[in-house]
Each structure stands twice: as structure tokens, then as C-alpha cells.
Amino acid sequence: MSCGIHYLASVFMAVTPNFVCGFPGNVSNILFHNSSASSIQDIWTLWTSTENYVVVQLENGEIWEINQCSRSKREVSLDLAYEYKGNKSVFSCSDGFLYDDTKWKSTVVTQWDLVCDREWLAKLIQPTFMLGVLIGAVIFGDIADRLGRQRVIWFTSAGQFVFGIAVAFTFDYYSFVTVRFLLAMVSSGYLVVAFVYVTEFVGIKARTWASMHVHAFFAMGIMIVALVGFLVRTWWVYQIFLSIATVPFVLCCWMLPETPFWLLSEERYEDAQKVINTMARWNKVNTPCKVSELCSVQQDDPVSGRMGENDMSSTKKHNILDLFCNWQIARRTITVWLIWFTGSLGYYVFSLSSVSLGGNEYLNLFLIGLQYINYFSKYGWKIFNRCGIWPYISLHSRTVPNNCKITCCWKWKHDVPCRKCGCSFLCISEKCLDFHATWQLKKKGCACPWTAGRLAGCAENHTLFPQLPVLSEKVRFFFLCLCILEMAAPKVAVVGAGVIGLSTALCIVEACPSCSVTVLSDQFSPNTTSDVAAGMLIPHTYPGTPIHVQKQWFKETFTYLFAISNSAEASEAGIHLVSGWQIFKSTPKEELPFWSDAVLDFRPMSEAELQKFPQYRFGQAFTTLKCDCPPYLLWLEKRLKAAGVQTYNRKVSDLWELHSEYDIVVNCTGIGAHQLVGDKKLFPVRGQVLKVYAPWVKNFIRDGDGLTYIYPGIQGVTLGGTREKESWSLSPNPGTTKDIFDRCCSLEPSLREAQDIKVKVGLRPSRQSVRLQREVLSQGGVKLPVVHNYGHGAGGFSVHRGTAKEAARLVGECIAALRGSSSGAKL
């Protein structure tokens, strides 16, 4: 029952209710088609599709369209209407999600927002559990053959209770999946070993019946899941109640005796005789079987007529390949595998999908369990008994480890869509019929390879099934290698969560998927220097860096962002193409900048174009990319989370403090590196900009000296700016604000009508050259590889992707060096 409970617990624990993006403020009114409400709870009864959306009016008058995975602000808020054809600004769900708690007060999906870009994590819950089932069957099946059934049953039963309770107290998604994985291992190990335990205690005539009813109690566990799910609607309380159901057996299972067959295989004849005597008393047999007589029968070889001829075979090592020792056994082995696979496939697909079958989901699952029991009690055991499937699986003999055979079948469970189940059933039915025909033929002659034939006196069983083994050393070595690879995955900490830090973390994950990457920072968007950046792809020149390197960085960045601008994610990422002019009061020394062939449609400005700017003598027209940095940072965070990267709010005072937690540290702290690593070549360049609402401005205008610029974006227009070296002040200067506004209005007079003016200040981390290099910190013989990527100054956004790729390459070199230095020790 406990296995049935835990195997199907996720049906109600991981369900995804209706949900929408969180509201960006206090709501005064909600509109859904023609229905109006004051609360989202009033809307859920009308919600019919994931394509639906609601329109909300905030108390400040703003009107928003709220979808499941995004929200958009209507630029023109005239009246509250469901349909709207005007311009909208799209935002991510930075305020979380709102869920329909009508049926479920809390699930793991609502607990950790496993929806939208994190939906795949919810879908991973049951597959990781079934992976634990597979591994648990292999491991505990082998252990049970070595240490005995009784010990493993007690250990796995106690493990089910401990890990079952622990699941309810996990603190995040990853600990939840990990503990459930361990729960799956002990549950699978328990079910496999308990199945073998039952078959080894039951006689031939009742063995099939008893084996089937082991699974009938599994079905009762499923019915308990349906009942508890109906009564308890909070996932962690639900999990506790399900786990408590295993307590009675945990307290009693230590009294169970070991099976006589395992005791005989270990040559513990006196203990085996005690168990047989107990069985005889329970069954009221006056003259119980003697172990010495059983041993005498097994050691006689009816074919050769000699005693002990096969003594050498008792010490022979075997592996799973012995299930394919000849064509007959191989065919039956494959057939049984397919039968178990198809049966498990259909059963779990339909059981786990009971919530989606329509009607009452609790009643659906309850009836599935009830029908399972009804099938076994009325027809199942008779069918399997006639087909000979269960006798094959439950075959036992003194030197044949049963758990090996059960494990072989068990590990064929997978989770695929329901529509494929029918085809699988049809394909396997022919094999089942063929199996039945073979069984009938064998039963009529003395060539019976099954347990019943052997116990009836057929000697061929010894030749067809010679001492099937436990899993081989190669199989165990394979799983050991998997564990070593997992432990060997390098842990990389990226310090800094601006555009450089997030981009570097993403490039590391893309270049080294096996890495475990974590982003650490005391400031995340919207409180980073990058949030203030203009986000215009016009490069800054670094005197200490070769031009061809700077050009490569810029090209890689432009190519990357250009692909995003042509994708469906352009609006969410805040990236778009913008055309405009860079103007000069005198002809520059280099009329053709190094980046001219990287942007689009670069050309000198015409005389007609220059007439708009009478104080300027020369100009360049081109099309480049503009990024609204705050949404771009959120987009990067979304990509990182989807890739499994962890982000933590943490202030790092010294890189060395990370040496015990991470293998490699990447320093992307920007101006923070001045204090963090004592870089005296790094200095701040204070920048003050204005963010204004002026949607009529479509073209950028940039003074050649880089001090005055107008950059239109998706969400507003950025006006700049200043370059104040060695200034650490983050306070806006009103005089500077007026100066910036006047300078920009002289270039674009219509900006006098701009609205919603906001002032932003940031400190550009400037150096003669970007610090992009490896370093090894060392204390007391302990080494910590560090990769530095900071000092981009005013041109950080223009080269952020290119420098991030270079930093990822350097991280790869660190990983190679670590593996090279530790390979000898590991071997």
C-alpha cells in the first residue's frame, strides 16, 4: 500500500491550477470578456482556456492586460474595454503569479511558481521519481540477494516513512525533487524485494494468486491517495498524511522471518529449518520437510546420475547476459520485458492523467484503483496463471537470485503520451499469445523450463536456467561512474548580476552544460548599474585593447542581439532596431570607424540630412540595435533559471571566501572590483541620464563626442549625458538634469513636450582596457581559479556578449586545468 501511495502521490501534489501573471499594483476593477469583477477569485469560474486574459484597471488609472505568462500595459488608458488595438508595452511576471485556489489551496507548482518558463520543472517531478524507481530496483535488488530480504524490507520500509515525511518539509524545488528521488529508490526497492519475499514463502499452487494480490494492495494505496487528496488540499499536509499510513508496518516488519530459500543459498541450514518448522506449525503439518532432504534432492543430477558434478557451477560468476544464454530463454526474457513495459506504461499513463480525464478527479483515481483490485480478484490471476507469465517472473531456486530477474523487468517503466499506449498494447498482445502457446506446449512435456516443471521432477530446468546471478561488477561500476561524474561537475560562482555577470553566466552554461553555475550579487535588477545604461550598440574605444579584439567582441554582441530582435522574444527582451545619426562639429580623423561594417546601412549623412543640425559639419547615418536594459536583464535571468542556474542575494567581501564552496569564481563586479580585488587601475565615470516618455521620437541622435545623445527605446527615450571621472556620487544633480535636457532639446526641439521625466545615475567601471584574464588565488597550498571580466566603462553593453563568450572560454581552460591536476588522484 505504501508504494501505491508514494508512486501516485504527485497526481494531486503537482497539479497546476488556473493562474495568471501577478498584478503590478492595487486593482480597482477586473474585466473578463463581458464580465466585470473586483477580485480575480470571481473570474476563475469563467476561465476556460490558457489563451484567456483579463484586463485590470489599477488605482492609479493604468490599464493592463494580464495573461498567464506575461502582462502588457496599454499606452493609451482612455476607458476600460476588453478589446484594444493600440500600442502596448510587454513586461514579464516579475510580481509572481495568482492561482485559482478553489480546488487546491497549495501545490508544489503554486509553492515554487513552476509555470511558464519554469513549467518544465513541474513536468520533471514524476520522471525523476521514476528514475529513482529504476535505480532503486537495481540497487536494492542486488543488496537483497546479498544481505537478505528481511533486512532490506525493514530498511526500505523505514526509508519510505522518513523520506515521505521529509518531502513535506523541503525548502525549495531542488531539495523536494532530491528527497522524492530518494523516496522513489526505497519505495521501488521495497516493492521489488517484497514481491520476491512473498513468492518465496508461497507454494506452487498459490504462488500466482499471492503474487497478483501483492499488487492488489498497491491498488489500495492508490485509493488512499484519492481519499486523502479529497480531504486535504494543502500539498505538504497531504504528503504527511500519506506518509503516516506507513507507520504500522515500520513498527512490525522487524518481526518478519527471513525466507528459507535465501537462508539455504547462504548455507544457513539451521536457520532455514527453524523457518520451515514454523511454516509447518501454521499449516498444521505434523511431519515438516527436512532441510537435509531438500539439499539432497537439489544436489542430485538426474541427467548424469552422479552427486556433486555441478559443484563447480555453484561458484561460477554470472551476469545479466545469462538471461540470453540461448534463443528460447532470450525470446522469453524479451517478451516478459515487453509485457512489463507495456503494462506499466498504460497503467501509469492513465493513472497519472486521472486529473485530466474529466469529471471528478478524486473519483477517477479511486475507481482506477478499485478496478485494478477487481481485475486481479476475478480474472487477472487466472489469466496470468494460464499464460505462465508470473511463474516465469517468480522463478526461484537456491542459486538463482530472484531480485535480478525482477529488476530486469522493472527497469522498463517509462512515461509517454497516452495516445501511444494503444499501439503498444496491440504490438505486445501477439507476444503474449505466443507466450501462452509456448507455455501450453512446455507444460505437456518434460522440457518444462518453469518452476512448476522443475519441482515436478523435470531436470531440464537446471540446464536452461543455470544459477542466474546478481548484477555484474560492470553494472555496478557503471552506476559508480555516474555518481563520480555528478560529483565531478565543476561548481562555478559568477559574482555580479549586471549585464556582464548575467551574460557571462549564460555563456558558461551554454559552453559547459555539465557545470553547476551560481550567480551571487548584493544587487539585482532594477538596482544595478546596467539598469541605468542607455543600451545603445555604438562601441566605445579601449586604448589598451587591440582594435581587432574590440571589433570581434562587438560583432558577436551585435549578431546575438540581432537574432533576438528578429524573434518572438524581442519585445520581452526589450531589443529593437533603430536608425539615426551620429553628428560631428568637425570632420573626425577616422571617417570610417572600426565597427562600421558590423552595423546596418552605414553611410555618410547627406547635405539634406545635415541641414537639420546647422551647428554640425559631418555626420554618419546607420541602423543599430537599442536595448531597454531593465527588461533585458529580466530576460537574461529567465534564461538562466531555465538552464538551472541558481541566483542568490549575497555580498561577497573577498573572493577567497568562496573557495570552500566553488571550484571556479568569475569576477563580474564592475566598479565593485575596485574594492573587492583592489584594482587601482579601475575608476568610476559618473553618468547621469534622463528617461522620458516621448513616443513620437523614432530616430537616435548622438553627438560625436558621446556627451549628448537621444536614444529611443521600446519603453521610453533615454537622454544623456555626462562623463565625470573619479566621481562616486549617486545623487542626481538638478543643474546637470537641466543641462542634459536643454542640450537634447537643441537637437530635437519636440522633446520639450516630453512627459514622465525620471533621473538616473550610475557609475561606469572604466579602465584603459577591459580586464579579461585568468588568475589563480592561493593560500596555504589551496588554489582557487578566478576569471576576471570587468572594466567595460561606457561601452559595456556594446561588447557584453563578446566578452562573456571569452570569459566562458577562460572558464573552460580552468576546468581543463582542474581535471588535469586531479585526474591522477581520482584514478
Q: Which of 240-254, 382-396, 402-416, 801-815 has the highest mean pLDDT?
A: 801-815
- Which SS3 state, helix, strand or coil, does residue 719 take? strand
Is the pLDDT score of 88 beyond 80? yes
pLDDT for the residue numbered 477: 44
Query: With bands split at pLDDT 50, 70 and 90, how would you rate the model's confidence at 36?
Result: confident
Query: With bands split at pLDDT 50, 70 and 90, how would you rate the model's confidence at 701?
Result: very high
User: Whole-model pTM?
Assistant: 0.48
Q: Higher confidence at residue 105 or residue 335?
A: 105
The top-level CATH class assigned to 1-13+104-290+360-385 is mainly alpha
CA distance 747 to 728: 29
Interval 263-321: pLDDT, tens: 887 888 888 888 888 888 888 887 777 777 666 545 444 333 333 444 434 445 556 77
Instruction: Concatenate the DSSP letters of all residues of 62-125 into one string.
Output: -EEEE-SS-EEEES--SS--S---S-EEEE--TT-EEE--SS-SB-HHHHHT--GGGHHHHHTH
Query: With bands split at pLDDT 50, 70 and 90, how would you rate the model's confidence at 602?
Result: very high
CA distance 439 to 389: 9
Query: With bands split at pLDDT 50, 70 and 90, how would you rate the model's confidence at 588?
Result: confident
Closest CA to 333 of 202, 459, 138, 464: 464
If you average pLDDT over residues 572-576, what whole number do you get? 90
If you average pLDDT over residues 172-184, what whole number do you get? 93
For the chain, give the percent of residues with pLDDT over 90: 24
CA distance 639 to 647: 12
Interval 325-350: pLDDT, tens: 777 778 878 877 887 777 777 777 77
For the chain, give the percent of residues with pLDDT over 70: 80
Query: CA 619 → CA 42, 608, 615, 623, 720, distances in Å?
Result: 59, 11, 11, 14, 19
Which amino acid is present at 711? Y
Q: Higher confidence at residue 209 or residue 551?
A: 551
CA distance 476 to 145: 14
pLDDT for the residue numbered 804: 94
Neighbours of 71 (CB within 10 A): 25
CA distance 576 to 665: 33
Mean pLDDT of the chain: 79
Query: CA 254 → CA 131, 249, 658, 791, distances in Å?
Result: 28, 9, 46, 66
If you average pLDDT over residues 701-713, what whole number do you get? 89
Q: Using CB atoms within 10 A of its CB, is residue 284 exposed (0-12), middle (13-18) or buried (19+)?
A: exposed
What are 675-678's contacts with CB under 8 Å, separation 24+? 676/495, 676/652, 677/788
If you average pLDDT over residues 724-736, what whole number do you get? 88
CA distance 199 to 201: 5
CA distance 405 to 329: 12
Q: Higher confidence at residue 461 or residue 61?
A: 61
Query: With bands split at pLDDT 50, 70 and 90, how would you rate the model's confidence at 208?
Result: confident
Is the pLDDT score of 8 beyond 90? no
pLDDT for the residue numbered 667: 95
Is the pLDDT score of 401 beyond 90? no
Place of cell 494580464: 66
Domain boundary assignment for the chain: 1-13+104-290+360-385, 18-102, 493-819
Residue 817 neighbours by CB under 8 Å, 6+ apart: 785
CA distance 432 to 334: 11
Query: With bands split at pLDDT 50, 70 and 90, how would you rate the model's confidence at 357?
Result: low
Query: Is residue 388 reached through a cis peptide bond, with omega within 30 degrees of 0 on the bond before it?
Result: no
Query: With bands split at pLDDT 50, 70 and 90, how would you rate the model's confidence at 582?
Result: very high
Q: Does 1-13+104-290+360-385 match 493-819 in CATH topology?
A: no
CB contact at 8 A, 553 and 598: no
CA distance 476 to 481: 9
CA distance 518 to 647: 6
CA distance 272 to 262: 8
Query: With bands split at pLDDT 50, 70 and 90, how would you rate the model's confidence at 443?
Result: very low
If you average pLDDT over residues 207-220, what whole number do you get? 80
Is the pLDDT score of 823 beyond 70? no
CA distance 98 to 121: 18
Is the pLDDT score of 523 beyond 90? no
| Burial call 175-191: b when 16+ CB within 10 Å, e when fewer | ebbbbbbbbbbbbbbbb
Query: Is residue 526 reached through a cis peptide bond, with omega within 30 degrees of 0 on the bond before it?
Result: yes
CA distance 252 to 778: 56
CB contact at 8 A, 4 and 219: yes
The residues pairing with 627 across neighbouring beta strands, listed in sequence order, are 575
CB contact at 8 A, 703 and 583: yes
pLDDT for the residue numbered 483: 44
Q: Higher confidence at residue 317 or residue 657?
A: 657
Query: With bands split at pLDDT 50, 70 and 90, how would you rate the model's confidence at 502?
Result: very high
Interval 136-168: pLDDT, tens: 888 888 888 888 888 888 898 889 999 999 999
pLDDT for the residue numbered 296: 55
Look at the chain and count its residues: 827
**493-819 — its CATH code?**
3.40.50.720
If you average pLDDT over residues 51-78, what whole number do you get? 83
- Beta strands (DSSP E) in 425-501 are 491-495
